[in-house]
Copies of this chain bind each other. A is one copy, B any other.
């Protein structure tokens, strides 16, 4: 039985891709997470750098805090009242592979002649870093055919 055939019998709404996309799958959220990952934590600089409407930014921040990907932390700048900034939680930091994957695709296919805007190096050995599929026995998968998907324990079959 081919994977496509098996796939067609599975409920498409029971899917980790769909769940993650429902959580963070819009333009501003990705860019917002990019900024927070790079240490930009406050409303004003976030708004300036993203160019997002303030209302949208506020809504996204509230949603991410609510979902536990960011946490609101108080801070106090000299001569100012206490305000709040947004910090990545572990739950939020775990989205980093998604950002790296998006970045890697952009570098591969959407870069200008000048090259990639950001490079990732391995601290220590200094070599370029890329995303790869690795199995539990530490084999690095190369081709499409090395990957065998199968229904997991959480899969649900379609009723029809």
**Contacts A25-B27, A139-B125; is A118 near B34 (CB within 8 Å)?**
no
Residues of B within 8 A of A129 (CB): 133-136, 141, 147
Which residues of chain B are near A138, meaning CB under 8 Å? 140
**How many copies altogether?**
2
- Say whether A80 faces chain B, with CB atoms less than 8 Å apart: no
- Find out whether the CB atom of B16 lies under 8 angstroms from the CB atom of A25: no
A103 touches B154 (CB 8 A): no
Q: Is the CB of A154 within 8 A of B97?
A: no
Establish whether residues A18 and B40, one from each chain, have CB atoms under 8 Å apart when the complex forms. no
Quick check: B131 and A131 within 8 Å, CB to CB? yes
Given contacts A7-B38, A131-B133, A145-B123, are A118 and B152 in contact (CB under 8 A)?
yes
What is the minimal beta-carbon distance from A134 to any residue of chain B, in angstroms? 4
CB distance from A98 to the nearest CB of B (A): 4
20 more contacts with CB within 8 A, not counting A16-B103, A94-B108, are: A4-B39, A7-B39, A8-B49, A10-B118, A12-B50, A15-B118, A16-B110, A17-B102, A93-B144, A98-B105, A115-B152, A118-B152, A121-B147, A122-B137, A122-B139, A122-B141, A123-B145, A127-B139, A129-B136, A132-B134
